[in-house]
Structure 1
Amino acid sequence: MPVVTEPVLEQGAKGEQVTKVQQLLAESGFYAGTLDGKFGPATRSAIERFQKHYSLPVTGTVDRTMIDTLQRAKGAPDRYRRVINMEASAYTSEDPGNGSYTYHGNQLRKGLVAVDPNVIPLGARLYIEGYGYAIADDTGGYIRGNRIDLAYENRGEALQFGRRTVSVYILD
């Protein structure tokens, strides 16, 4: 008989623990929303996608097993649909002409990237070498073909990344 663990967090919860779970979900490419510490429908949906992907019971709640799996999920993916070599640049909301929100209306932050939707569909989960897990959540005027723009928290991080060719793994 399987061991049932009590949920640590469930919808309606608030606080630092929820923010940490949201951050881990974002770092593993499952959550594009605001890291606000509020366990609402978007957080629950991300948890359910994560649970399904990692063959955990899909409960929409967070228990100890899920937290352990989240903490191990940061490495390079073992399953992906395809890999594309792309010219990558970096951007922030601090850059002239950029707004603070993505095409999908999420606050711009690391883990959200701009793509050409004809090459990578918006909403796709990605793993980008040298950057980590991300979600295709934005578009850009200069992002055409095999180009990708990686969001960063501040201009210094973006400038440090610069421009380079990266391998982009398109996940399930």
Structure 2
Amino acid sequence: MNRLNWKKAGLRAAAFALGGALLLPGLTAHAAAANYTATDSDTFWKLSKKFNIPLNTLMAANPKVNPYNIYAGLKLTIPSGSVKVQAAQTVTTMKGESLAYKKVLQVKASAYSASVAENAWGPVDYFGKPLKLGTIAVDPKIIPLGSKVYITGYDFNGLPKGGMIATATDSGSAIKGNRIDIFIPGSRSYVSKFGMQNVKVYVLK
């Protein structure tokens, strides 16, 4: 066999040992994630497919392993794969601010005032703080108290146009499930004009 044919034969043998692919130079291993005990039928190629890891990365993580001699019982290092990071979900406010949120809810919204008739404990929220624009009452089982939210979809002159950031700092016996009550400064008769509206609530991160 001449030198050229010998070289081709060597490459074919290497490709067979690796399962049909050759290691490219200049690649380094990722941090090890786990150990693996090989079987007689394993090749680097098969393992790269099994663990969804690039062949070159797998081989670089096992530099002392002869790729032509993977046998049952051989201990191999399986490097960590790429971690897929899900892009944050965001909503854009009327001011152009991008807010990341955890979940979005379609809810029924009503409104309340600081009237004593609507607040047995006075014009304060659940935590005893004065009611103010941006205070909402929620069902804590749906929206945890203290949550920051962004509300859209309402239509009322007493609220910021297009959407508003609010904080869930109040609750009420009538606020159950997908319901919120929005505090609006003003008389009870004025606030009652809000009625019941369908709104979208983004629970912010």
Cα displacement (A) at 1:160: 3.3
Q: 1:121 to 1:166 in 2, by over 3 A?
A: same
The 3-state SS of whatever aligns with 2:200 is: strand
Cα displacement (A) at 1:112: 0.5
Q: Are positions 1:115 and 2:147 aligned together?
A: no
| Deviations, residues 37-79 of structure 1 (Å, cap 9, x unaligned) | xxxxxxxxxxxxxxxxxxxxxxxxxxxxxxxxxxx98556442
Matches within 5 A, 1:1-172: 74-75=95-96, 77-94=98-115, 96-98=117-119, 99-129=122-152, 130=154, 131-155=163-187, 157-172=190-205
Moved over 6 A (4+): none
Give the distance between the partners of 1:116 and 1:150, measured in 2 at CA. 13
TM-score normalised by L of structure 2: 0.45
Check conservation: 2:108, 2:197, Cα contact below 8 A: yes
Structure ID, larger Rg: 2
| Deviations, residues 72-108 of structure 1 (Å, cap 9, x unaligned) | 9855644211110001000011251412100011101
Give the distance between the partners of 2:135 and 2:178, measured in 1 at CA. 17
Identity %: 40
Give the distance between the partners of 2:177 and 2:97, measured in 1 at CA. 24
TM-score normalised by L of structure 1: 0.53
Give the distance between the partners of 1:157 and 1:76, measured in 2 at CA. 30
| Deviations, residues 17-56 of structure 1 (Å, cap 9, x unaligned) | xxxxxxxxxxxxxxxxxxxxxxxxxxxxxxxxxxxxxxxx
The 3-state SS of whatever aligns with 2:176 is: coil
Cα displacement (A) at 1:153: 0.7
Q: 1:146 to 1:101 in 2, by over 3 A?
A: same
Check conservation: 2:175, 2:181, Cα contact below 8 A: yes
Cα displacement (A) at 1:159: 2.5
Cα displacement (A) at 1:163: 1.1
Q: Tell me what 1:17 maps to.
A: none
Structure having the larger proportion of residues in helix: 1
Give the distance between the partners of 1:150 and 1:114, measured in 2 at CA. 6
Check conservation: 2:109, 2:196, Cα contact below 8 A: yes
Listed as ranges, the gaps of 5+ residues in structure 1 are 1-71
Cα displacement (A) at 1:141: 0.8
Structure having the larger proportion of residues in strand: 2
Matched positions, count? 101
